[in-house]
Structure 1
Amino acid sequence: MAGAGMKDIKRRMKSIEGTMQITKAMELVASSKLKRARERMEQAKPFFHILYDTMARMATGTRDFESAYVRPRPVKSSCYVIIGGDRGLAGGYNTNLLRVANAHMEGKDVKVLPIGRKVADYYAHRKVELVPYEKTAAEDIHLSDSFAIGRLLAKMYDRREIDEVFVIYTNFVTVLTHEPAVLKALPLHFEVGSDAKNGVGTVVYEPSVSGAFDMIIPQYLGGIVYGGVCESFACEQGARRMAMETANDNAQQMLDDLGLRYNRARQGAITQELTEIVAGAEALK
C-alpha cells in the first residue's frame, strides 16, 4: 500500500514539474515582450501629447472656430473601441476590462470595434453590432493600422452612423498595477486655459483653423487607438508575467509539500520493512 501511495505522489510531482517548465517559459516570454512593449509605449506618448496640445490651441485660441467634432449632438448610437488581450492566462486582465466595458455600455445602442482576440471572441457571441476591421489581434496593430481605424471612425462620425466614440483600454500605472480606463474620443472637449492660447496668434492655418482641425481628426483618433493598444499590450504582458510567477510559486509550494509527503511515506515504508525483518528474526529464535 505504501509503495502504491509513493508511486502516486511521484507521478503527481512529475506532472507538476512538467507544468512548471511551461509556466516558467511563458513567464520568460512575457517578461521579454513586456520590456519591448514598455519601450513602444514610451515612444508613442510624445506624439499623442503634442498632437493633443496642438488641437487644443486650435480649438480654444480662435473665436470663430467651428467644427462638428467638438459640437455635441443628440446621441443615438455610440461606438466603443475596446482594446483587450489576444490570449488568456493573464489573471483578471481581460475579465476586468470587459466588466468595465459592459457597465459603461449598458442601456445604450452601441457598435463595438474589438481589438484583441479575446475581446473579439467575447462579443462575437453576444447581441452586439461589430464594426468590421481586417485585424483583431492587438499584437498585429501598428501605427498605420491605428490611423486606418481613425479614418474609419471619423468617416462613421461624419455619416452620423455614430454620435460619440469611446476607447476602452487598460492603463499601465506600474508593472504591478493596471487599471481599465474609458476615454471619450468624440466629440472632443477642450478646457479653455492660458496654456492652450499660447502661440496661437503666431500660427497661420490653411485653409482655415477649422479646416486644418478637421483634417487631423483621423490622425488624432488613430493616435488614441495606438496609445491604447501600446498600453494595453504592455498591461497584458505584465499581467501574464505576474500570473505565471504566481503559478510557479504555487507549483513549487505543491512540490515541497508532495516531497515532504513522499519522504514521510518512504520513511514509513522503511520502518515497516525493518519491523517485519526484526519480527521475522525473533520468530526464528
Structure 2
Amino acid sequence: MAGSMKEIKLRIKSVESTMQITKAMELVASSKLRRAKERVEQSRPYFETLYRTLYEIAAANTDFTSKYMARREVKKTCYIVIAGDRGLAGGYNSNMFKAVAADAAGKDYCVLPIGKKAVEHFQYHGTELLTDRFAVVGDLSVSDSFDISRLVCDKYLAGAFDEIKLGFTQFVSMLTQTATVLQVLPFDGPRPERGKERPTQILYEPSGEAVFDAIIPEYLAGVIYGAMCESVASELGARRTAMDSATKNATEMIDHLNLYYNRARQAAITQEITEIVAGAGE
C-alpha cells in the first residue's frame, strides 16, 4: 500500500510539472497573439488595395492579354505551403497538410514550404521542393515575401509549372482557424465582353498591360505576407487553445490522483488500526 501511495504521489508531481509547462506556453501564446492579430489587420488593406487595382484594370480592358492571366493546360502545380515552426498547436499543422493533400490528389506538383514543419513533412514524403530556404516562418519578413514572389513568378513565366496555389491557415477568431488553399496564379480576374468595358478615369502609362504585369509580383508578395501573418496568428491561437485544454486536463487528472491517494491513505490507516486492535485483543 505504501508503494502504491508513493507512485501516486510521484505521478501527481509529474502532472503538476507538466501543467506548469502548458500554462506557461498558454500565457506566452496569448501574449504574442495580440501582436499577431495587429499584423493581420495591418496587412489586409495592402492586399485589398492591390487586388482592387488589378481587378479594375482587368475589368476596364479587353485589348490586352497578360501572361499572368493566360489560361493554359495544367500539367504541373506549385503549392506555397505555410505551416508552423513547432508542434503543440493541436491540429494546426496536420489540417494544413490534409487540405493540400486533398487539393493535390492526382496532380503532378512541387512545393515551396514555409515553416520547419512544412519542410520536414514534405521531405519525409519525398515531395519535390522548389526550395527550402524559407524554413523558419517566424523569422520571415516582407522582403522575404518579395523574394518568394520573384522566385515563383520567374518559374511560372519560364513554364516550370502552370498554376500557383497558396496553402495557409486563415485566422477567423481565437477559437477558429481554417486551412485554406487559394489559387493565386493565373490571376482570376473579371474579363468584360468586348464593347462592355467599364469606363475608367485612370490612365495607365505606358499601358494597362504593363502596369498589370508590374503589379502582379507585388500583389503575390502581398498575398504571401498576408497569409504568413494569418498563419502565425492562427498557430498562436491554436496553441493557446491546445495548451488551455491540456492545462484543464492536467487539473482534472490531479484531482483524480488526489482522490486515489486519499483513498489509499485512508485504507492504510484503517489497516493499521485493525492490526492494532487485533493485537490488543490477543
What TM-score does the superposition give when structure 2 sets the normalisation length? 0.95
Match in the other structure for 1:257: 256
Structure 2 residue identity aligned to 1:261: Y
Separation in 2, partners of 1:167, 1:139:
18
| Percent pairwise identity | 50
Q: Secondary structure at the match of 2:106?
A: coil
Report if the CA contact (8 A) 1:82-1:113 is conserved: yes
Deviations 1:153-176 (A, max 9, x none): 111111111111000111111111
Residue 188 of structure 2 corresponds to residue 214 of structure 1: no
Equivalent residues of 1:57, 1:200 under 8 A apart: no
Q: Is the 8 A contact 1:146 1:222 kept in 2?
A: yes
Is the contact made by 2:82 and 2:231 (CA closer than 8 Å) also made in structure 1? yes
CA contact (8 A) 2:62 2:191 kept: no
Whether 2:87 is the aligned partner of 1:68: answer: no
Letter in 1 for 2:245: T
Give the aligned length. 279
| Equivalent residue number for residue 275 of structure 1 | 274
Shift of 1:190: 1.5
The 1:198/1:73 distance shift into structure 2, 3 A limit, reads: closer
Matched, 1:117 2:116: yes
Unaligned runs of 5+ in 1: none
8 Å CA contact 1:153–1:218 kept in 2: the answer is no
1:84-233 equivalent positions in 2, closer than 5 A: 84-191=83-190, 201-233=200-232
3-state SS of paired residue (2:244): helix
8 Å contact kept, 1:167–1:184: yes
Deviation string 1:4-41 (CA, Å, 9 cap, x unpaired) is 11101001001111111111111111111211111111
Instruction: Tell me by how many angstroms 1:270 deviates.
Output: 1.3
Cα RMSD (Å): 1.7
- 5+ long unaligned stretches in structure 2: none
Q: Cα deviation per residue 1:64-106 (whole Å; 9 max; x = unaligned)? A: 1320111101222211001111111111111111011011112
- Partner SS, residue 180 of structure 1: strand
Query: 2:85, 2:116 within 8 Å by CA — same for their partners in 1?
Result: yes
Task: Give the letter aligned to residue 168 of structure 1.
Answer: G
Residue 12 of structure 1: aligned partner: 11
Which SS does the other structure have where 2:62 is aligned? Answer: coil
Is 1:57–1:198's contact at 8 Å kept on the other side of the alignment? no
Deviation at 1:200, TM superposition (A): 6.0
Whole-angstrom CA distance in 2 between matches of 1:198 and 1:278 = 103
Deviation at 1:207, TM superposition (A): 1.2
Q: Give the counterpart letter for 2:170 in structure 1.
A: N
How far is 1:133 from its partner? 4.6
Cα contact 1:80–1:113 (8 A) shared by 2: yes
**Contact 2:61/2:197 (CA < 8 Å) preserved in 1?**
no
Amino acid at match of 1:6: M
Contact 1:83–1:232 under 8 Å retained in 2: yes
Residue 41 (1) aligns with residue 40 (2)? yes
Deviation at residue 199 of structure 1 after TM alignment: 9.0
Partner of 2:245: 246
| Partner residue in 1 for 2:236 | 237
What's the CA shift for 1:237? 0.9
Q: What are the superposed Cα offsets for residues 243-275 of structure 1, whole Å, 9 maximum, x if unpaired?
A: 111111111111000001111111111111122
SS at match of 2:166: strand
TM-score, length-normalised on structure 1? 0.94
